[in-house]
Structures are given as structure tokens and as C-alpha cells.
Structure 1
Amino acid sequence: MIQNGILNPHVLELIARVRHTNTLVISDWAFPYWPEIETVDISLTRNIPTVLDVLNLLKQNFKIGKIWQAEEFTTTNSARVIEDFDASFAEIPNVSVCRLGHDDFKKLVPSAIGLIRTGDATAYGNLILESV
């Protein structure tokens, strides 16, 4: 029995299929549904869990080379929220962060292996992770 890290079997099954250069989306509670990719919904209530909760668990065993995020994230959130995300990104060795317009961000979503939907209410807090 797994006792540490990610315990949700649906999330484990999804991330086990991610290979070199595949992408995985971690989204907020309001992110649109994408019928062409698998969605694992782990939202419980507002802000439980958050995108950063999932990222912080994933980065323990998931080798991330690149993170995409909407550039609108930096103009709609407080300095503290931006610092929290940036601090989490900084803990990932050799990761590059690319912020692009939200419409361009959404164009990358359909090619992802899957999407993990959280209860996060952070505006534009969605992430696309590319495996190394």
C-alpha cells in the first residue's frame, strides 16, 4: 500500500503514462473541459487542493523540463501569489518557465496526455508541464 506522496490511483495512472516531452496540465476549478484528453478531477472544494499542492507532489518524482503558464497570471494576482508560484518553480532543477497569452496557452492543452483539475481559485493559475 502506498503511504507517501500521491495516493490517488487515477492521478498515478495518468502520470505513469507521461513519457519524454509529453505534457500534463494542472488546472484550476474553472478551466474548460477538454473532451479530447483525459481529465482526473480531484477538486474537493474551493482551493482544496491547489495547483501548487499538486505541482509540489508531482515534482518529487516527475522530471519537469518546461512549464507554461498564461502571462495574465502576473497581471491579475498579488505579488505574494506570484512569489509562491515562482518559488515552487525555482525548486525544480533546470526548468524553464514560459508565460504566453491565455489563448495561446489553451492551444497547447489538446496535445497533453491528460489534465488534473484542482479546486484552485487562483486566476490563470493553470500550468502545463513538459516532461524531460
Structure 2
Amino acid sequence: MLIRGILNPAINSLLSRVRHTNTLIIADRGFPFWPQIETVDISLVDDIPRVLDVLTAIRSNFVFGRVFAAQQFVEVNTPQTVGALEDALLGVPITFEPHVEFKKRVPSAIGLIRTGDTTQYANLILESA
């Protein structure tokens, strides 16, 4: 029985299939459903869990080469919210791009973890190293 680390079997399965340069999405509660992408929905109620909770949980076992996020995240959120993301990804390059361009990357992802996050544009695409 697992006693530490990621306990969710669906997330463990998804993470184990991400290889070099593959991508994984961590999404907020409003992110559109993409039928062609395996989705693990762990949303419970508003803001539980948050995108940063999932990011923090998987960070120790997942090597990111870079991360993509929507430019609108920076534009509509407080400096504290943006700073929390940058702190959580310290040492990992973050590319902020228009949301329209961000969504063009979605279909090639290995999978998506949907959270209950209500932070605007909190979605991340993690590219493995």
C-alpha cells in the first residue's frame, strides 16, 4: 500500500506514461473537456484542490523541462498569485502565451488533471525534460 507521494492510482498511472518531451496538463475547474485526452478529475468543491496543490504534489517525482501558461494569467491575477506560481516553478522556464495559442498545445498532451481551482487562467502545460 502506498503511504506517501501520489496516492491517487489514476494520477500515478498517468504520470508513469509521460516520457521525454511529452506534456501533461493541470487544469482549473472551468477548463473545457477534451474527449481525446485522458482526464483525471479530482475537483471536489471550489478551490479544492488547486492547480498549485497538484503541481506541488507531483513536482518531486516529475522533471519539467518547461511549462506553458496563458499570458492572461499574468494580466488578470494579483502579483501574489503570479509570484506563487513562479515560486512553485523556480528553476523551470515558464512561457506565457496567448490563451488561444496555449489551447493549441492541448490535443497533444498525454493527459489532463482537472482541479477545483477557480483562479482565472490557472491552467498549466508541463513538458517533461
TM-score of the superposed pair, with normalisation by structure 1: 0.96
Equivalent pairs, count: 129
Give runs of aligned pairs for residues 64-83 of structure 1, distance below 5 A: 64-83=64-83
Q: Residue 8 of structure 1 aligns with which residue?
A: 8
Give the equivalent residue in structure 1 for 2:108.
111
For residues 16-39 of structure 1, the C-alpha deviation after alignment (integer angstroms, 9 at most, x for no partner) is 100000000000000000011100
Pairwise CA distance, 1:80: 1.0
2:27 aligned partner: 27
Match 2:93 to one of 88, 92, 96: 96
Normalization by structure 2: what TM-score?
0.98
Unpaired segments ≥5 residues, structure 2: none
1 CA distance for matches of 2:11 and 2:4?
14
Structure 2 residue 119 is the aligned partner of structure 1 residue 130 = no
Instruction: Report SS of the residue matched to 1:52.
Output: helix
Supply the RMSD in Å over aligned alpha carbons.
0.7
CA distance in 2, matches of 1:131, 1:112: 11
Structure 2: which amino acid aligns with 1:8? N
Amino acid at match of 2:84: D
Structure 1 gaps of 5+ residues are none
Q: 1-side partners of 2:18 and 2:113: how far apart?
A: 13
Equivalent residue number for residue 120 of structure 1? 117
- 2:116, 2:35 → 1: CA distance? 19
Seq. identity, %: 52
